[in-house]
Structure 1
């Protein structure tokens, strides 16, 4: 019997597996896909996530391969948030395809001794653990659903996924550009819609955006290359010579959150716990940070170092973070889809404030980057030059600021 079965081998599940092994728990990761998805939903690694990686001594490969971007956007506004003012050794985001992030995280999980099994579709929770489509039962004391917005684990546990359906749709195309924008990047917005162009490895660019024609609740249908070309041309005045699509996709702004992140021996993390429009590229980051919070706690309980009551703090600490994530992505979605004259005026006013009000810009940057998370008695502790290295054991650390938990937050004073 395993201590923990993690369902889903995305970034959240793989980081959790490594954390559980660091804390001494045995873990098996079960993934439906036989091969890793070559298409990368996420591209952005935020400063707090880089700190999390550094706290375990695995940041270097990400820093070496990722493209450092010293700013970020809020709601696609033209004036960008300055990350250089943030209190972190990593005042930038990293652009790195999710497929590569998953590859690096799986390497770490395997090196730590986790078992990763692909082609294993979990169909039900059973008293012994989980049941697979072929009838096999994988035994475990605890189960964590990291299996996405259509989570089998969440549904089997009877946890409500409360929220709202989509009212607008975005789109993306990973394509070859014969006439890419200067420096490879572009951000264009106006009454017809908005888009961003981002370079990817292998001579491919991602064009991602939304338009007034799909700013409605009805499903617009599968995205075609001709539609993407026409939409991009209407927004930007050029289609950048786009061709040879590697991936075309649509996504909506359906917004939901699990009412509880725990039901007995079952936990939820990442997209299984929260669903939202991908504004600001924060989803994968919050999922990894969910896993960072849960991992050390669950490992401490199964290893006998902590009372089981510690597990209740996972929901009480991370559910409010998820709720704030949904609030901010909704706000950014409203700005992104402000195609009317009034919406354009609102965008212009707020963009100007970001440029002229440094305190406002910094606060938004802290929220977007994940550096503002405060658990009340357990706020994040900045590095200070040596803390992250000391946390690599996965144990509590004494500092002048107080006792720091394995996830880098201050421990509650009893």
Structure 2
């Protein structure tokens, strides 16, 4: 028996669930939607961070926030007061629970766990035809949030790879009011590495080791450095690992890698999520950007029946991110000094707006002025020759 749908969402992770929540809000005006998800259970497998802004989605669910940030290298340390927009953390279990509850309230949306595609779809006479593990279906539109394979992302400018442990110590060790945004590993020609430490109590913190590099680092590649980081922050005292998280975020996808959706590039079939341009290229921040996209995509489906992919950043921001990523990729040994210059020379409010995609022209000019000219001019000259 064949199921007819208005929309199929392939993958019910952050992007898929966020869109589902927005569609569920439409109540009886919502399209008939199926969310197809391979996993059989949702676990607390990741966290998302962002600066507190009035318009943020899910701000009522955040686990913790910090009014002070530290950025440090082997040579200096910078302390920032971000009480005007506290740095916030949201655990995935809270988001999943809220999203699943919202979707379950609308009978026009159905989530199928433990399900997957058996074949890639066929387009015929206005419908996409799918074979899945629970049967055949056809749908008018598709939002595909499955991550692309690494071999399909070879032209990505830079990769952000990370591995983290959420730990609980036997004794008080952390300041729960201060997050360590970047504690840089020694400068080298292979990668930009730093510790990322988010304490949620005096005894409990998420400690991650993060790498910006031309190629992605697998979890096994980062274990030793993460364990060095944990020892650096807690010394020899006892601790237990509550959970771990890891990931690889593409920074600076090739334009046609973002825009490609199907062999026919049909407008009714779009891709979404991290490997489709959800993350800010120069930072990797994605959660609030995904929420903005979910609202826009739901509105598009409501008005035209056709989904929309992630909106492009405006030209100046795209070029700034592009040049910055080129500099880091070609000169990773400069990474610590570049970030230290950014945070030490630019007013904190301007930096936060810039990193939160809310910067003004003056904010962007302040960032440009703060960074050393020579490596950036070299990249600009390279671009101008092409």
Q: Could you tell me how far apart the structure 2 residues matched to 1:363 and 1:296 are?
A: 31
Determine whether 1:143 maps to 2:146.
no
Work out which of the residue numbers 333, 338, 341 in structure 2 matches 1:349. 341
Instruction: Note the C-alpha offset of 1:279.
Output: 7.1
Instruction: Note the C-alpha offset of 1:36.
Output: 1.2
In structure 2, the residue matched to 1:100 is 94
Instruction: Note the C-alpha offset of 1:287.
Output: 1.9
Matches of residues 236-275 of structure 1 in structure 2 within 5 Å? 238=235, 241-244=238-241, 246-247=243-244, 249=246, 251=248, 255-256=252-253, 257-260=257-260, 263-274=266-277
What is the DSSP-based 3-state SS (H/G/I as helix, E as strand, rest coil) of the residue aligned with 1:319? Answer: coil
Aligned length: 332
In structure 2, the residue matched to 1:120 is 115
Matches of residues 15-414 of structure 1 in structure 2 within 5 Å? 15-23=18-26, 24=29, 25-40=31-46, 42-47=47-52, 51=55, 53=57, 59=58, 62-63=59-60, 65-70=62-67, 78-80=78-80, 82=82, 84=84, 91-113=85-107, 114-122=109-117, 123-127=119-123, 128-134=127-133, 136-150=135-149, 163-164=155-156, 169-179=161-171, 181-184=173-176, 185-187=178-180, 188-191=183-186, 193-199=193-199, 205-210=205-210, 217=215, 219=217, 222=220, 228-233=226-231, 238=235, 241-244=238-241, 246-247=243-244, 249=246, 251=248, 255-256=252-253, 257-260=257-260, 263-274=266-277, 282-302=285-305, 314=308, 318-320=311-313, 324=317, 328=321, 331=324, 340=333, 343-354=335-346, 358=347, 361-371=348-358
Deviations 1:164-211 (A, max 9, x none): 26567433223333355332455233527521222469x753211247
Instruction: Note the C-alpha offset of 1:253.
Output: 5.2
Unaligned runs of 5+ in 1: 54-58, 85-90, 303-307, 375-414
Q: Given the two structures, how large is their TM-score scaled by the length of structure 2?
A: 0.68
From the superposition, tell whether residues 301 and 225 of structure 1 become closer, same or farther in structure 2 (CA, over 3 Å). closer
Deviations 1:295-352 (A, max 9, x none): 11112223xxxxx7xx6xx45x703369957964984897799874x55444443322
In structure 2, the residue matched to 1:405 is none
- The answer on whether the counterparts of 1:177 and 1:204 sit within 8 Å (CA) in structure 2 is yes
Deviations 1:106-151 (A, max 9, x none): 2112213321111111242233435244372222110011223449
Q: Could you tell me how far apart the structure 2 residues matched to 1:322 and 1:33 are?
A: 38
From the superposition, tell whether residues 4 and 373 of structure 1 become closer, same or farther in structure 2 (CA, over 3 Å). farther
Q: Could you tell me how far apart the structure 1 residues matched to 2:248 and 2:72 are?
A: 16
Unaligned runs of 5+ in 2: 188-192, 362-386
- The answer on whether the counterparts of 1:269 and 1:291 sit within 8 Å (CA) in structure 2 is no
- The answer on whether the counterparts of 2:214 and 2:329 sit within 8 Å (CA) in structure 1 is no
From the superposition, tell whether residues 329 and 118 of structure 1 become closer, same or farther in structure 2 (CA, over 3 Å). farther
- The answer on whether the counterparts of 1:198 and 1:206 sit within 8 Å (CA) in structure 2 is yes
Q: Could you tell me how far apart the structure 2 residues matched to 1:30 and 1:71 are?
A: 40
RMSD (Å), alpha carbons? 4.4
From the superposition, tell whether residues 134 and 287 of structure 1 become closer, same or farther in structure 2 (CA, over 3 Å). same
Moved more, 117-126 or 365-374: 365-374
From the superposition, tell whether residues 273 and 227 of structure 1 become closer, same or farther in structure 2 (CA, over 3 Å). closer
Higher relative contact order (CA 8 A, sep 6+): 1
